[in-house]
Chain A
Amino acid sequence: MNKIKITVDNKVVEVNPGTTILKAAQTVGIKIPTLCYLHLEDLNIENKPGGCRMCVVEVAGRRNLAPACATECQDGMVVKTNTIRVLNARRTVMELILSDHPFDCLVCAKSGKCDLQKLAQDLGIREIEYQGEQSHYKEDRSPAIIREMDKCILCRRCEMMCNEIQTVGALSGINRGFQSVVATAFEQDLIKSPCTFCGQCVAVCPTGALTEVDHTSQVIRMLANPKKTVIVQTAPAVRAALGEEFGLEPGTLVTGKMVTALKQLGFDYVFDTDFAADLTIMEEGTELLERLTRFLDGDRSTPLPILTSCCPAWVNFFEEYFPEMSDIPSTARSPQQMFGAIAKTYFADKIGVSREDLVVVSIMPCLAKKYECQREEFKTDGNPDVDFAVSTRELAALIKQANISFNSLEDSDFDAPLGESTGAGVIFGTTGGVIEAAVRTAYELYTGKKLERISFDELRGMGGIRHATIDFDGLPINIGIAHGLGNARKLLESIKAGTCNFHAIEIMACPGGCIGGGGQPLHHGDSSIILARQKAIYQEDSMKPIRKSHDNPYIKKLYEEFLGHPLSEKSHHLLHTHYFDKSKSKILIRKEQE
């Protein structure tokens, strides 16, 4: 391809045709400010409405200013990014945006990490020249996500994520002109929409319009209550990202520090969700083998493929859009929920604490977990298995509030018996990890042979839909992997159409898997952060002495002492679940028939 030459602020740049002015300028260290533009390169996610007009630049020969993010370079183009005309335009547009924005910075959840705040600071805004009417919309508090659309600047990132990437379609631009905003159909609350609470909208929102429901004050209250025994479980993806909130390089594993911090915060027991991930493998792996052998023995009615079910946003998605296929996913609960069930029975007995006095808190990279833990089927007599799900961001805020100097903490180990996990448990945090963990166990259980190669590189990567065939000692097992609900939809459609020949499929709602979850430290558009987190996850796996779930001695003990064997009656009762038909259209039709 012939390169073309452009000049940006008197610097000559050579680029491929099709490159935008924004990207061309980046290559010579010129950072043109953006607001609505988002490009997660490694995940193939781009938002380019060209609407905020912050990135406008002067192009010689062009009558008006050009949006750098959306204008392709032409050979010989002369661009100026910081003339007085451009700076005046940028400031004026920023003043306009701020003139229709609540001045809530002091108490806003996004203060300090808000893209709008940062850009206003960079532009040195001190006064808003153009004051006038402000937009007001009803606030919406769902179980996991808070929508304060007064703060919406119409960057359309959430709409893009929800419609194009996740194909959930809960959000869209509505109304016109000054009244326009991104909202749900008929401005209903999220809980009434097809929203899966995956939180990807929150992950990309540049302002405080979309934030998570904050459960830290409830957690603090529990910690301060002397009658309560508060235990905490930490998801695998948290340890690979928490350090970013304290200025550490993305991809720094902070497992030991995280445990110490939690102990200092006052949790009575610090356990690991990875333990429950091992447990999930025991149950789900056995379920997979059971279905597989039934199928191979001739029972063609056996539902295959088996789909993983540990992702609550994914569960919401198929309950909404594919309820007729609810016999296909595994019946196993998620590790968070399995942990809570075991904690409030097996462990509660062990330490002699009643269910009511035991509080289970989970630290999750995920916002859908907040929705999951309050589902009715995960409660016993109204008492939930998991009381509060708290995001990585909230944990960081708790640590900062408690004045703990995170970076200078010594490492500590998780408590026993629910804190010991294998490498298989840790890789749950990334796309491809759950199915690799399942394969490690299923292989040995099925063939009776020892796994020579423990790492399955063919299951790893960032591609949206991946597949591989694993040789189970002569039996080829076809594995499918999807992350991002749009990709999940494609696989489900192929199952429906009968064109799918996978035996097992792993689905994660968030691009990248849990490491890219809606509750993780904000990436502000840098997808290399997610790649770095993925690397850290596999790194922790490789450092673990035990790497297969069924080799976990504490798991073995749990079955011996309590559960009996995978898929036993007790296991079914505590560790498995069933699914509901949430499709809204069905509800509407039912109402019409009434």
Chain B
Amino acid sequence: MPKHRMHLLVCGGTGCKSSDSDLLARDLRNELERQDLTGEVQVVMTGCFGFCEQGPILKVLPDNTFYVRVTPDDVQEIVAEHVIKGRPVKRLLYVDPETHKKVSDSKGMEFYKKQIRIVLRNCGFINPENIEEAIARDAYAALGKVLTEMTPQETIEVIKKSGLRGRGGGGFPTGLKWEITAKSVADQKYVVCNADEGDPGAFMDRSVLEGDPHTVIEAMAINGYCTGASKGLVYIRAEYPLAIQRLKHALNQAREYGLLGEDIMGTGFNFDIEIRYGAGAFVCGEETALIHSMEGHRGEPTFKPPFPSESGYLGKPTNVNNVETYANVPPIILKGAEWFSSIGTEKSKGTKVFALAGKVNNVGLVEVPMGTTLREVIFEVGGGIKGGKKFKAVQTGGPSGGCLTEKHLDLHIDYDNLLSAGSMMGSGGMIVMDEDDCMVSVARYYLEFTVEESCGKCSPCRIGNKRLFELLDKITKGNGTMEDLDRLRNLSEVIRDTSLCGLGQTAPNPVLSTLNNFYDEYVEHVTEHKCRASKCRDLMTYWILAENCVGCTACARVCPVGAISGERKEVHHIDKSICIKCGACMEKCKFNAIFVS
């Protein structure tokens, strides 16, 4: 490997790629070649750095200079100033919003200070398409250790002692799951990686697979060794083309290097991995539905027990784990169970990756130890509420989770605390809401998703969630009654109590948590026909303030339904019965004459 004096790490995560980070990398390479520096300076496309709000990210090694919002236009200056003359380009540095000072090293950023990157340890560091970089960062060392120094049972004990729990949302003790599968007797067993990641807005698994696919491959092989499975299957959603490409490439490289396939590392252990594709069904993230989908059947869940560990894919013992769960396994093997269990809370060990989104300043991918408070994540790592607005709620767990309020901000994040607060961990989605978010609308939004994704097998979810959505829709349109609020509650509780699988069982969570924590807003919608966040269109009225209107007719011309009338130079008027509340007139008016309430 040629020794370069400087490395330019460009974020190749999907977010930054959509902002032309690959063009940035290409232009950097071209410029370096032009300057005859290719032998000294290497450009590396890495996985996600996590600081998506500030992307495209460019990190310079060895000085750790962290550039944000870099564009191809910045290439010449970066090469001329920083690469050649050693002078960092100050205007591309991150500015701390509190101190207004430039921060050059990411270690000094509030966004990164509280993060401990275990799952994402290689993302933003290595080139995921070069197995040797992964190996240089200890990829497959854990597999080697396990195959040569440990028995399957010893390895399972380590995982058990570490306290690792399923990161897909269920939180089931991973070591125990592996042990049950290991104990099942069959002529063939399977290990599965659940890379369906159906939660809208969640991209933890995607980032791991795009940025560090070898950690998943290695962990699956370790799992196969422990449980007695010679075949691994990755069920990945088809909507992740980059992750699929990186994974395929990684699998080929692993086989080439003798780290996958027959007689791995010459130990006689056989294990190989196949990829299976999802086809756009959130419900196929549920492990039994996932298995049925892989078998070619309708992606519908079945009741458990029997659990997949006893009878799963093709009726054989099958161990299904989430991508993030797998990514924790190699470090646990190499650094030990004690190390891992020293991080986190009593019942939830290790870290959790969150996709922090919504009304925060620092939107992106964060990995914090369990036990970090919501306040710390939102206001320190997240940098507080955007635009200085007031925090209202935080939704965790995606469509299966609940909305937590101000009074929960000091909650220490772990599986059990979130559950008792009326939400759940889920796969790690965390959406922050401010005063401009309508909680009834939020519940309706999540139900719309759930109704679309329900498989339809069981009556309460198929019909119940639809009725739940219809009730919420009715309320947001101003036609709700107080009886409807009682119906919402009873229906939600019955759906939760009787649905066949986790999708249906958790679908009412957004409704119940908003009903519990924001009951006043529901009542306002029903009795006062008011939406305090001004989000529910049907409850809003657009009107023209006569004093400010000069009769320029700009609004009337842009109105798509012809609801505005008025002569030139005369005060205009909006007909409420025609107005569809699109807001185009308000946007167009230069005289501040149009209001909505």
Contacts and interface: CB of A to CB of B under 8 A. Distances in A.
Interface of A: 49-53, 56, 64-65, 67, 70-72, 85, 88-89, 92-93, 96-97, 99-100, 129-133, 153-154, 172-173, 175-180
A52 B497 CA distance: 13
B466 A51 contact: no
Contact of B498 (A65, A131, A153): A65
B490 to A, nearest CB: 7
A451 B499 CA distance: 62
Interface stretch (B59-67, B364-372, B456-464): B456-464
A359 B109 CA distance: 93
A154 B487 CA distance: 24
Q: Which 9 A-B pairs have the closest CB atoms?
A: A180-B456, A177-B454, A96-B463, A132-B470, A130-B467, A92-B494, A50-B303, A53-B498, A51-B458
A180 B467 contact: no
Nearest to B453: A177
A509 to B, nearest CB: 25
Contacts of B281: 176
Contacts of A53: 458-460, 498-500
A233 to B, nearest CB: 43
A85 B497 contact: yes
Contacts of B454: 176-178
A307 B496 CA distance: 54
20 contacts: A53-B458, A64-B496, A92-B494, A97-B459, A99-B467, A130-B464, A130-B471, A131-B467, A132-B466, A132-B470, A133-B466, A154-B459, A154-B462, A172-B298, A173-B457, A176-B455, A177-B455, A177-B456, A178-B456, A180-B457
Contacts of B457: 49, 51, 154, 173, 180
A438 to B, nearest CB: 41
B491 interface: yes
B159 interface: no
Contact of A64 (B458, B470, B505): B505
Given A52-B459, A97-B463, A133-B466, A88 B490 contact: yes
A163 to B, nearest CB: 11
B305 interface: yes
B32 to A, nearest CB: 51
Given A92-B491, A177-B462, A180-B462, A65 B470 contact: no
A173 B458 CA distance: 12
B295 to A, nearest CB: 14
Nearest to A90: B498
Given A67-B303, A72-B305, A132 B497 contact: no
A178 B462 contact: yes
Contact of A178 (B466, B496, B497, B498): B466
**What's the dominant secondary structure at chain A's contact region?**
loop
Contacts of B458: 50-53
Q: For A64, A130, A131, which residue has the most chain B Cβ atoms within 10 angstroms?
A: A130
Interface in B467-510: 467, 470-471, 487, 490-491, 494, 496-500, 505
Interface string B508-534: 000000000000000000000000000
B452 interface: yes
B451 interface: yes
Nearest to A174: B298
Q: For B451, B457, B471, which residue has the most chain A Cβ atoms within 10 angstroms?
A: B457
Nearest to B464: A96
Contacts of B451: 177-178
Nearest to B455: A176
B106 interface: no
B310 interface: no
Nearest to B451: A177
Contacts of B494: 88-89, 92-93
Given A67-B303, A178-B466, A92 B499 contact: no
Given A92-B464, A96-B467, 15 more contacts: A50-B303, A53-B498, A85-B497, A89-B498, A93-B494, A96-B464, A100-B463, A130-B491, A132-B466, A133-B466, A133-B470, A176-B281, A178-B462, A178-B463, A178-B466
Contact of A176 (B456, B463, B464, B496): B456
A53 B466 CA distance: 17
Q: For A70, A85, A178, which residue has the most chain B Cβ atoms within 10 angstroms?
A: A178
B498 A93 contact: yes
Nearest to A156: B457
Contacts of A65: 497-498
A308 B499 CA distance: 47
B247 to A, nearest CB: 27
A143 to B, nearest CB: 29
B37 to A, nearest CB: 55
B305 to A, nearest CB: 7
Contacts of A51: 457-459, 500
Nearest to A94: B459
A91 to B, nearest CB: 9
B39 to A, nearest CB: 56
Contacts of A96: 459-460, 463-464, 467
A100 B462 CA distance: 10
Contacts of B305: 72
B71 interface: no
Contacts of A177: 451-456, 462, 466
B541 interface: no
A175 B305 CA distance: 26
A52 B459 CA distance: 5
A63 B454 CA distance: 22
Nearest to B470: A132
B24 to A, nearest CB: 41
Contacts of A100: 463
B302 interface: yes
A153 B491 contact: no
A132 B467 contact: yes
A295 to B, nearest CB: 42
Contacts of B210: none
A72 B307 CA distance: 13
B444 to A, nearest CB: 14
Contacts of A71: 303
A151 B100 CA distance: 66
Given A130-B487, A133-B466, A56 B459 contact: no
